[in-house]
Structure 1
Amino acid sequence: MSEYQYYKFERVDGQLAPHARQALRAISSRAEITATAFQVYYTYSDLKAEPAELMLKYFDIGFYCANWGSIYAYIKLPAGTIPDALLGVSLDGLHADERDEWQLLTFSIEEYGEYFDDEHADDFFQHLAALRRALIQGDWRLVYFMWLKECEFNEEIDGVPLIHFDFEHLSEEVQAFATLYDIPLAWVNALAMVLNAHPSHPAKQAELQFDGWFHHLTDAEKQTLLSTLFEQGQLTRHQALAMTRKESANQDEAYHYWLTPDVITPYVAQAQRQLQQAQADAIAKKMAIEKAEKEKALTDIYHQREHTWQQAQEQADRTCASGYDAASRYVHQLCEAYQCKGDSPAFAQRFKRFVVANNSRKALLTRLKDLL
């Protein structure tokens, strides 16, 4: 199998300056580069830069996948967005790169077991901006997902603050993340149970009061913001915060309630049973809906049975393979419709007339041999 690597990066806040686009073009002559995005794939060779460095310098979200199973999602946040108490835990699949202005989160899979191509990558990529926005606003559930995944196999993992996020109702983008990264849903449900049974810290929605923030800026910081605005043509809230934040907003938080393996493990078996029951209920509901839809369709066919017999005969009269296929489908649908209404003897009589009318068409009768 030939080599395949796919890279996609995007600037969510603002646009790439002309000199940034020139620098990116020097890195890859074949990439698609716009004012906000960079996209390229390789069937040989490789990107002449480290994705993490490109993210920290130019972009806000990014994605990489290779046909040998490696998958990386990148989300860049203003410094101090995620507290040290969460990012300080060593987790397989999550790496945090701390810089002066930024936190770069890299969510990785080293050996993805299913087929994954650039279409799948694009489908997932569309969720990254919303996931980043939620993280900035104080919704850190993605980090907890990675902790739960590690905890499933590692009873020695360090604890994390127990913060009351909503793990019972997951948005489309959060569900997409949980699916791709194979987050154990039973453990997610178990965490929801823990939060209902134990004291926890309230989740804080990040808010910015403009007057208070602007009042505390120095003249040099205001000048930097104006220069950036002039150079880029726009300046988003997240960019301004990242450029002027002096210290982590969360690193000095005092946490009294903690999530540890000992706290969550007793709830996992019950959560697994509830998950299995919910899945069984969903399957039963789906089957009931499909059964009702099929019965309605068969009822409609039965009520129009003479018209359907006529359609079957018209297709048979075409005396070609596609006509015989269509006629066979009509007759089989009629058979099911008569059976659904408990009128099989009437079908047998009408079917006998149809066979007699088409007795010379052996190819058609072969298609109907299971009804003869």
Structure 2
Amino acid sequence: MSEYQYYEFAAIDQPLTRADMAKLRAVSTRAEITPAGFVNHYEWGGLKADPSDWMRRYFDAFVYTANWCSCRLALRVPLKTFTKSELKPFTTQHTLRIEASDEHWVIDWSLDESEDYDRFGVEDGHGWMRRLVPLRDYLLRGDLRPLYLGWLAAAAGGELDDGALEPEVPPGLSELSPPLQALVEFLEIDPDMLAAATTGSTQIPRNDTQQADRMDTWLNEWSRDEMMAALKLIAQGQGHEAERQVRSRHAAWLKSQRPSSTSSTLRRSVGKLREVAQLASVGRLEREAKERAKQETERRQQRAAYLRLLMADVDKRWAAIDAQAQRGSASGYEQAVRGLTELAEGYAITSNSKEFDRALRRMLVRHATRGALMRRLADAGLWSG
């Protein structure tokens, strides 16, 4: 099997200029290049450029997959979106890397050693950008869940030792939206580690009366100049930045209302998360076994109902099978054997197998010389000569 690599870049905040596109075209003569991005795949060789350099210079999002079980997501956000101290607890050596350029943070998630060979054997990379790029909006709003999931992927994958402490768990980790769930799938985060992590997450505040009252209290602390500054950003087409600043300020205010010891006491070690994940695994396996048993019971009930309906006009079924056998063709024999298999099941639940055997012998009196049919019946366990 040949190598396969897929590269997709997206320019979101600022379209590519003609000069930009010319530089990209010089790197690849057959890529799809538009003001909104760059898409290409390679079956021999690869991109003759550094994706990290392109992210610093041109693009806001990057998705990469390769059929040797590797994939990568990178998103670029303005430096003012986060402080270095906010990002540091989430960074790891390999799975979640974060670097700063003059104006941006480039946040890079990667999966290097997947064992899901079937996934990467058929996956061509298309579709991931559409599913994952909304995470950039989450980051611009100050949502830390994409970063925590990157850290968790590193912990679940064995990159971190048992003594490493988790970052503070962001609210809403147990309420993953489709883009966040897509990141879980992309990085193949262990479901039991995810379940363990969610036990430390609070819910995202709802718009109930109590929350509205708290919001009013917070807004009353704003000065007129601060509110004017936020409104100016919106009017200037920088709604994302305005929302990010407002959410960040609100999050800081909420944090100031909590007891000072809460944040530190909730941080768990990777070893503790693995212990909780082990317990979660037991519960998950039990639930899955119950669900499989339930589905099997429903399948059997549906099958039994179908067979009873079939047996309600059994003479018509025998006549149809006889007609298929009389065709003397391979397809006719195969249809006859399938019909006889269903009748055997039907007799088993409505009367008895011996009655089916007697009826089969009566039918085969007319077909005993059809060797191909008799062999198929023997292979299906319906006839022993």
Question: Aligning the two structures, in what range does the TM-score lie when normalised by the shorter sequence?
Answer: 0.7 to 0.9
The partner residue of 1:183 within 186, 189, 204 is 189
Going from structure 1 to structure 2, the CA distance change for 1:265 and 1:46 (only over 3 Å counts) comes to closer
Whole-angstrom distance in 1 between the partners of 2:134 and 2:306:
41
**1:1-372 counterparts in 2 under 5 A?**
1-13=1-13, 15-82=15-82, 84-89=84-89, 90-91=91-92, 92-113=94-115, 114-115=117-118, 116-117=120-121, 119-152=123-156, 153=158, 154-167=161-174, 169-195=175-201, 212-215=229-232, 237-238=239-240, 257-258=263-264, 259-261=267-269, 264=273, 267-369=276-378, 370-372=381-383
Q: What percentage of residue pairs aligned between the two structures are identical?
A: 26
Q: Any gaps of 5 or more consecutive residues in structure 1?
A: 204-208, 226-234
Decide whether the 8 Å contact of 2:96 with 2:154 is kept in 1: no
Normalising by the residue count of structure 1, what TM-score does the alignment of the two structures yield?
A: 0.78
What displacement does 1:7 show?
A: 0.8
Whole-angstrom distance in 2 between the partners of 1:357 and 1:286:
41
Whole-angstrom distance in 1 between the partners of 2:363 and 2:13:
69
Normalising by the residue count of structure 2, what TM-score does the alignment of the two structures yield?
A: 0.75
Decide whether the 8 Å contact of 1:13 with 1:236 is kept in 2: no
Q: Looking at both structures, which has the greater relative contact order when contacts are Cα pairs under 8 Å and sequence separation is at least 6?
A: 1
Could you give the per-residue CA deviations for residues 122-141 of structure 1, whole angstroms, max 9, x where no partner exists?
24333112333333344432
Whole-angstrom distance in 2 between the partners of 1:284 and 1:86:
46
Decide whether the 8 Å contact of 1:7 with 1:62 is kept in 2: yes
Helix, strand or coil for the counterpart of 2:199? helix
What displacement does 1:333 show?
A: 1.5
What displacement does 1:58 show?
A: 3.0
Whole-angstrom distance in 1 between the partners of 2:12 and 2:313:
56
Whole-angstrom distance in 2 between the partners of 1:309 and 1:341:
16
What displacement does 1:117 show?
A: 5.0
Whole-angstrom distance in 2 between the partners of 1:52 and 1:294:
56
Aligned length: 345
Whole-angstrom distance in 2 between the partners of 1:313 and 1:29:
64
As a proportion of its length, which structure holds more helix? 2
Whole-angstrom distance in 1 between the partners of 2:308 and 2:323:
22
Decide whether the 8 Å contact of 1:5 with 1:66 is kept in 2: yes
Could you give the per-residue CA deviations for residues 284-340 of structure 1, whole angstroms, max 9, x where no partner exists?
233233323333333333334333333322322221112111111111112112223
Aligned to 1:232: none
Decide whether the 8 Å contact of 2:95 with 2:151 is kept in 1: no
Going from structure 1 to structure 2, the CA distance change for 1:216 and 1:25 (only over 3 Å counts) comes to closer
Q: Any gaps of 5 or more consecutive residues in structure 2?
A: 207-225
Helix, strand or coil for the counterpart of 2:29? coil
Going from structure 1 to structure 2, the CA distance change for 1:367 and 1:165 (only over 3 Å counts) comes to same
Decide whether the 8 Å contact of 2:63 with 2:72 is kept in 1: yes
